[in-house]
Amino acid sequence: MRPLDLRKLHHAIVLESECNFARASERLHLSQSALTRSIQALEDDLGLHLFERNRSGVRATPEGRRILEQGRELLLRAGTIRREAELIREAESGEVSFGVGPAMAGIILSPLMKAMSRDETKVTVRADIDSPPALLESLFGEKIEFFIADTRLLDSAGQRGAAILPLRYMETGFYVRAGHPLATGEVITADQLIRFPLLMPNLGEDHWTLIGALYGGNFDRTSVKHLMCNDFHSLKAAAMDSDGILMCVQDTLETELSDGTLQRLEMTQPHSDIGWNIGMVSLEGRRLSRAGQMLFERIRRILHVDATTT
């Protein structure tokens, strides 16, 4: 049995839609004689008359309607295969733009870039570091395909067309240099904390909500000196060379905590849970490209997140 010619099948479906050889030929950019030969060849191949002529033009026979209905499904599946091939090619040589919150940049970007630089694929990766709300706007503007960040401030994102995939909870805390006035090993109160500059990632306009939770609801904004930026390494360097107090994810400080360069402050109650709910945010109903999926799987492994748990 000879394989079915999908090109001729497409010609027949267009002819059924137009009910006229002239209009179908124009739509297919073929001459009428070429279209006629294509339809005749398909009918000969199938051993059926697919069309009949009448005064109003051309219409499919009952047998033709049955065949062309299945033909449309076949062409749709063929298109899916073609799209899948395009996605596979993108995974080998495409481009992926994604975002990462400042707090997560210190955990994800270095090992990710090292892994990608050793990879044999030709994927181009562009990473944007910004606050979660800003990354959300970039996502809706389709400047990035997805982003990884603390999703607590994005609870309403699903109503705006974003999908949140929870990844893991990460413990955060306050950290100071060795020799800092608060590095006494004693439990620290919010009143003591407020005397020193707070170094923290840029969390967007809602950062006051978090700061209020850290110090207690009755704190005076004007009395809290806080310094924010998207460069986590600059924040860490400032903490190691000043009396600033760094607020960040503990996983980013494994080396400094191990060698004693920085140490964690133990806080008294009341003290709200300031752990971060890390998640992947993408457009609702939009599947990641192959290159995007590959990149996300690498990030998942960096965060030690099992694919079966998300």
pLDDT confidence of 200, banded at 50, 70, 90?
confident
Residue 2 has what pLDDT?
Answer: 74
Residue 155 has what pLDDT?
Answer: 56
Q: What domain count does the chain have? A: 3
Range(s) of the domain holding residue 178: 172-274
Residue 244 has what pLDDT?
Answer: 92
d(CA 253, CA 291): 30
Identify whether residues 303 and 159 lie together within a single domain.
Answer: yes
d(CA 218, CA 125): 44
- Is 147:98 a contact under the CB 8 Å cutoff? yes
CATH number at residue 13: 1.10.10.10
Instruction: Give the least confident one: 63-67, 124-128, 176-180, 283-287.
Output: 283-287
Residue 6 has pLDDT above 60, yes or no: yes
Hey, which residues does 262 pair with through a beta bridge? 177
Residue 208 has what pLDDT?
Answer: 62
Identify whether residues 176 and 164 lie together within a single domain.
Answer: no
Identify whether residues 265 and 242 lie together within a single domain.
Answer: yes
- Is 298:179 a contact under the CB 8 Å cutoff? no
How many other C-beta atoms lie within 10 A of the C-beta of residue 227?
Answer: 13
Q: Which helix (H) or strand (E) holds 150?
A: strand 146-150
**119 within a domain of the structure (yes/no):** yes
- Mean pLDDT highest for which of 32-46, 67-81, 249-263, 275-289? 32-46
- pTM of the shown model: 0.61
pLDDT in tens, 107-157: 899 899 998 888 767 778 899 998 888 888 899 888 999 999 888 767 554
d(CA 274, CA 265): 14
d(CA 24, CA 15): 5
Provide the token pair at 88: 């596979």
Half-sphere exposure of 234 (CA within 13 A, CB side): 9
**1 within a domain of the structure (yes/no):** no
Provide the token pair at 26: 């124009």
d(CA 206, CA 251): 24
Residue that is last in its domain, among 91, 107, 125: 91
**76 within a domain of the structure (yes/no):** yes
Give the ranges where the chain is alpha helix by DSSP (H).
6-18, 21-28, 32-46, 62-93, 102-118, 132-140, 190-193, 207-215, 232-240, 254-259, 290-302
pLDDT confidence of 180, banded at 50, 70, 90?
very high
Q: What is the mean pLDDT of residues 189-204?
A: 81
Residue 213 has pLDDT above 60, yes or no: yes
Identify whether residues 64 and 144 lie together within a single domain.
Answer: no
Residue 157 has what pLDDT?
Answer: 46
Residue 195 has pLDDT above 90, yes or no: no
pLDDT confidence of 34, banded at 50, 70, 90?
very high
Percent of the chain at pLDDT exceeding 90: 36
Identify whether residues 157 and 185 lie together within a single domain.
Answer: no
The rounded mean pLDDT for the chain is 83
Instruction: Give the least confident one: 190-194, 216-220, 236-240, 244-248.
Output: 216-220
pLDDT in tens, 241-300: 999 999 888 888 888 889 999 999 887 754 545 677 899 999 888 888 888 888 999 999
Identify whether residues 39 and 112 lie together within a single domain.
Answer: no
Instruction: Give the least confident one: 38-52, 101-115, 220-234.
Output: 220-234
CATH number at residue 131: 3.40.190.10
